[in-house]
Structure 1
C-alpha cells in the first residue's frame, strides 16, 4: 500500500531516524575505556574508509531506486541478480535476529541505571524465576512491544525515532558542555597525556590482535544505516530528500 504524501517522512524526521539507528552514544565511552584518545583515530579511519563511502552508496541507490519495493533486496537485485539478493538479504535478516535478542536483553541495564544509579539486572529474580530467566522474559515482552509499534505504521515509528534522535543529540551536546567544564576545572589537564595519544592505556589493547579487535569495533559502531533502505518510498521527494538525509547524518555522526 502506498504511503500518503502527508504521512511521508520529511528530511528532519529522516535525519532523526538515522541518528537513532546508527549513532550509539555508549560507543564513545566504551571506545575511551578500551583505547583512550587513540580511539579518535580509529573512528576517523573507519568513517573515511567505510561509513562515508557506504553512506554515499546508499544515497545513490536511494535516489536511483525509489519504487515501493526499494530496499536492500531490490538494490542487490538491480546490481547483481535475484539469487544474490535473496542470499544477501537472508543473511542480513538472520544477523538482525541475533542483534535484536542481544539488544532486548541489554536495554534493561540503562533502565535500571536511570532509577537506581547502577546495573540492577542481576537482582531481577522474582515469581520463582532467577535473574537470567526474568531478563529473558522481559526481553521477549520488549520485542513484542517493538513489533506492536512497528506494525501500527510509519507515524508511530517516526515519533519514536524522532524522540530517540533528539535524546541522542541532547546527550551529545550535554557531554560536550560538561567535558569543557571538567577540562576547565582540571586547569586544562587532559585525562591522558597527549604524547601517548597513539597508545591505549588498556593493556589488552596494546598489541596487534587487540588493535585489530578494536578496529572491528570501530567499524561496527557505524553499522545500521542499511536499515533505512526500506524507507525510500516512504520519504517525501525521495530522489532529493533521501540522499540529503543520508549525507547530512553521515557528516554529523562522523
Structure 2
C-alpha cells in the first residue's frame, strides 16, 4: 500500500464502477416509457447510486476484509444476520442467472432464428437451462477458458452493440426517417405520470439497473487519496452510467415506438425493425449474437464467484464442516464442482418456473422482481449496519468518510427508504405486462426471499448446534 504505483487513481475506479454496473438488458423495460424514462433514470440514480457508493466506500475502508457485505453486517448485527445477508445475496444470483439467460436467449433466437421462438417460453426456458449447464461444465475445468469467454463478451456484448445502436439512431434521423417516439414536439412529456401506480413500479426496475456498485466500494482503501478521489470517481462513474442508459434509451426510442417495446427483447426488436427499414437485415443477426454473448459472459463471470463467497462466509461463521461435500474441490481442476452442480440444478428450476407465467414477458418480470427482493434484502441490512456502525464504531479508522455529522445519516436513510420503496412497489406489475394470478405471482416473487432466509437460519442453527456438541 505504501507504493504509490500500486494504488488506484480516479480513472481506475471510474472504469471499475462502469464495468460492474452497466447492463444493456435494463434499458428496454425503462425505455418503454418514452421521454419520461429520462427523469426515471435520474431519480433512480439519485436515490440508489449515490447512497450505495458513499456508504460502501466508508465501510470498505473501515473494514477492508474479504467478504464485503457479510463482514459489515456481521460487525453491526452479528454472524447470524450477516449469514442471512450472504445467503440472500447468493440466492439473488441464482435467480439472476435465468433472468440474463432469458434476455440473451430471446435476443439470439428472436433475431437469428424466428420471432415466434423468442416468445415461446418453453423453448427459451429449456434452452436457457441447457446453456447454463454448458457454462457450468466449462467452469468446472478451471479459469483458462472462462477468462477467454469473459474477455470476448465484454467487447461483443457491451461495446459493439452500444456503439451500433447509437450509430443506427443517428443514421435513422439524418436519412430522413421520423423519430418513432416523440421527443421534440410540445406534447412530448418528460415528466413521469406517477398518478398511475403501474408507472411507479418502474422505479424498482430502474434502481436495480444501478445495483452492483457495492463492488467498487471495496477498492476505496486502495486509492491514492480516498477522501478526495473516491467520491470524485463515483460522481464521474454515476454520470457516465446514467448518461449511457439515457442515450441508449433515446436511441432505441428513436428507431422503435416506446409503446410497442418488448421488455425482454426490446433491443433486438428495435434493431431488427431499423435494419429491415434501412435495408440492412444482416445487422439484426449480428446484434442478436452480440447480445447473446454479452449475457453469457456476464453469467460466466459471476458463476463461480458467489460460490467462493458462500464458502468463505460459511467457514468464518462455522456453518459447514471443513470436509462438507458443498465445499469439496475437484481433485484435478481444483474447482467447487459439487457446489456448481447444486447451483445449476437450482438455476434449472428457476428457468422452468417461467412455464407458470402467462407470457415470457410475465416470466421475465417475475424473475426480475424476485431478483430485486433477494438482492435488496442485503442492501437493507447494509444501510442499517452503516447507521449502527457510524454510531457505535467511530473508533475504527476509515480512509474515506462521508463528510459532516448529519449528511452520513441522511444519505444512508435515502438508501434505506429507497430500497423499502422498491421492494413494496413490486406488488404492482408495470404497464405492458399481462398480470397472471395475483397470489401465484406474489408467491414466486417474495417466496424466493422467504425460502432463502429460512434456509440460512436453518443452516446457521445446525452449524451452531454442531459446534456446541464438538466443544
TM-score (ref. length: structure 2): 0.40
**Following the alignment from structure 2 to structure 1, what is the Cα–Cα distance between the partners of residues 20 and 41?**
17
Deviates more, 1:214-223 or 1:14-23: 14-23
Q: Which residue of 2 aligns with 1:90?
A: 87
Structure 1 residues 185, 199: closer, same or farther in 2, change over 3 A? farther
- Deviation per residue, 1:54-88 (Å, 9 max, x gap): 12222222333323x24111122234433322222
Deviates more, 1:39-48 or 1:190-199: 190-199
Q: Which residue of 2 aligns with 1:138?
A: 131
Tell me if the contact between 1:64 and 1:239 (Cα under 8 Å) persists in the aligned partners. Answer: no
Structure 1 residues 169, 8: closer, same or farther in 2, change over 3 A? farther
Tell me if the contact between 1:63 and 1:242 (Cα under 8 Å) persists in the aligned partners. Answer: no
Q: Which residue of 2 aligns with 1:110?
A: 107
Q: CA deviation at 1:177?
A: 3.6
Instruction: Please list every run of 5 or more consecutive structure 1 residues that lacks an aligned counterpart in the other structure.
Output: 1-5
Structure 1 residues 187, 152: closer, same or farther in 2, change over 3 A? closer
**Following the alignment from structure 2 to structure 1, what is the Cα–Cα distance between the partners of residues 41 and 120?**
36
| Structure of greater Rg | 2
Q: CA deviation at 1:104?
A: 3.3
Structure 1 residues 97, 246: closer, same or farther in 2, change over 3 A? farther
Q: Superposed, which structure 2 residues align to 1:85-234 within 5 Å?
A: 85-113=82-110, 115-116=112-113, 118=115, 120=117, 132-145=125-138, 147-148=139-140, 152=143, 160=150, 164=154, 168-186=158-176, 191-192=181-182, 193-198=185-190, 208-227=196-215, 232=219
Structure 1 residues 25, 194: closer, same or farther in 2, change over 3 A? farther
Tell me if the contact between 1:18 and 1:225 (Cα under 8 Å) persists in the aligned partners. Answer: yes
Q: Comparing both chains, which one has the higher relative contact order based on Cα–Cα distances under 8 Å and sequence gaps of 6 or more?
A: 1
Q: Which residue of 2 aligns with 1:19?
A: 18
Deviates more, 1:36-45 or 1:74-83: 74-83
**Following the alignment from structure 1 to structure 2, what is the Cα–Cα distance between the partners of residues 124 and 144?**
24
RMSD (CA atoms)? 4.4
Tell me if the contact between 1:50 and 1:219 (Cα under 8 Å) persists in the aligned partners. Answer: yes
TM-score (ref. length: structure 1): 0.68
**Following the alignment from structure 1 to structure 2, what is the Cα–Cα distance between the partners of residues 139 and 218?**
26
- Deviation per residue, 1:143-173 (Å, 9 max, x gap): 444x448x639x9659826951785244434
**Following the alignment from structure 1 to structure 2, what is the Cα–Cα distance between the partners of residues 239 and 87?**
34
**Following the alignment from structure 2 to structure 1, what is the Cα–Cα distance between the partners of residues 148 and 14?**
11
Size of the aligned set, in residue pairs, is: 234
Instruction: Please list every run of 5 or more consecutive structure 2 residues that lacks an aligned counterpart in the other structure.
Output: 243-471
